[in-house]
Amino acid sequence: MDGVELLPENMAPFPWLFGGQRYQNIFINPEEVIDFCEKTKLRICQDISHSHLACNKFDWDHIEYTRKLAPYTAHYHISDGTGVDGEGIQVGEGNVDFENIYPIINTLSPDASFIPEVWQGHKNNGEGFWVSLERMENKL
């Protein structure tokens, strides 16, 4: 793995795929992710939408979830979310508490990279990604 950093991603409980939806039961619980990182010495890609959906499903605190995983995070996928399966929503159009998430990212993983991961954000010359980036500007 010289010159490569493998970044497993935290998962959502009910991810959507082009072929439908499935139930995901691994790499969701923050304690499981932390244990994995400590045992393997790997960092992760933290998907904010995925963690929000998991927190909704299991009645966990999303701010605390983000805080726990931030020291292990090398890269963020950022999008909004609703309910237990509404992932990849445009930033600011779901229920993620970005006002309290951004300071955690900036403080506990300031060198982490990020990218907006809005569903179908690549269409129309990346219009969805550009909207997200404008909404995140000066916050990360």
pLDDT of res. 136: 95
> CA triplet 115, 11, 103: central angle to 5 degrees?
50
Q: Which pLDDT belongs to residue 32?
A: 97
Residue with tokens 């909404």: 135
Residue 26, in any domain of the structure: yes
CA nearest to 114, candidates 45, 27, 51: 45
pLDDT exceeds 90 at position 22? no
**What CATH number does residue 128 fall under?**
3.20.20.150
Residue 5 lies in a domain: no
* pLDDT for the residue 15: 87
**Looking at the DSSP assignment, which residues form a beta bridge with residue 114?**
76
Q: What total number of domains does the chain contain?
A: 1
Residue 21 pLDDT class (50, 70, 90 cuts): confident
Above 90 in pLDDT, residue 20?
no
8 occurs within a structural domain: no
pLDDT of residue 28: 96
Report yes or no on 66 lying in a domain. Answer: yes
Mean per-residue pLDDT for 18-33? 91
pLDDT digit string, tens, across residues 94-124: 999 999 999 999 999 999 999 999 999 999 9
Q: Write the CA distances from 37 to 71, 73, 77, 109, 129, integer angstroms.
A: 10, 10, 18, 15, 29
Structure-block tokens of residue 101: 């998430």
Q: Which domain holds residue 23?
A: 16-136
Give residue 59's Cα distance to chain centre.
17
Note whether residue 123 is domain-resident. Answer: yes
Whether residue 1 is contained in a domain is answered as no
Tell me how far the alpha carbon of residue 20 is from its chain's centroid: 21
User: What is the per-residue pLDDT for 17?
Assistant: 80
Residue 71 lies in a domain: yes
List, for residues 30-87, the tens digit of each pLDDT value. 999 999 999 999 999 999 999 999 999 999 999 999 999 999 999 999 999 999 999 9
Give the pairing type, strands 86-89 and 80-82.
Answer: antiparallel
Residue 7 resides in a domain: no
